[in-house]
Amino acid sequence: MRDILKNYIDGAWVASAGVDTRDIINPATGQVSGRMALSTAEDVKRAVAVARQAFAGYSRTSVEERATLLNRIAEVHEARAEDMAQAVTLDIGMPIAFARMTVGAGTGQFRFLAKAIGDYPFALVQGGTRIVKEPIGVAGLIPPWNYPSLQSAEKIAPALAAGCTMILKPGTPYTNQVLAEILDEAGVPKGVFNLVNGRGSVIGMAFSRHPDVDMIAFTGSTGVGIQVQKDAAETVKRVSLELGGKSPHIILPDADFEAAAKGAVAKVMSNSGQTCAAPTRTLVPRAHKAELEAMIRTAAEAIRVGDPLTDVDMGPVANEAQWHTVQRYIQSGIDEGATLLAGGPGHPEVADEGWFARPTVFADVRNDMTVAREEIFGPVMSLIAYDTVDEAVEIANDTPYGLAAYVDGSDDKTVQDVASRLRAGQVILNGAQPDLQAPFGGYKQSGNGRIWGLAGLEEYLETKAIVGV
Separation of alpha carbons 84 and 164, rounded Å? 25
Q: Which of 242, 293, 375, 459 is catalytic?
A: 242
In 3D, which of 23, 20, 21, 18 has the Cα closest to residue 34?
23
Residue 247: closest CA among 220, 207, 275: 275
Round to whole Å and give the CA distance between 82 and 92: 16
- 242 annotated active-site: yes
Asked if 382 and 338 count as a contact pair (C-beta separation under 8 A), the reply is: yes
Helix (H, G, I), strand (E, B) or coil at 377: coil
- How far is the C-alpha of 162 from the C-alpha of 174, rounded, in Å? 27
List own/partner pairs for 122-131 with CB under 8 A and 24 or more apart: 122/63, 125/469, 128/467, 128/468, 128/469, 129/465, 129/466, 129/467, 129/468, 129/469, 130/465, 130/466, 130/469, 131/463, 131/464, 131/465, 131/466
The sign of the dihedral angle between the CA atoms of 56, 68, 196, 319 is positive
Q: What angle do CA 151, 154, 160 make, to 5 degrees?
A: 135
Q: Counting every residue, how long is the chain?
A: 469
Question: Which of 242, 156, 244 has the alpha carbon at shortest distance from 449?
Answer: 242
Distances in whole angstroms, Cα of residue 14 to Cα of each of 3, 141, 190? 14, 19, 13
Are 218 and 155 within 8 A, CB to CB?
Answer: no
- Give the residue numbers annotated as catalytic, written as ranges: 242
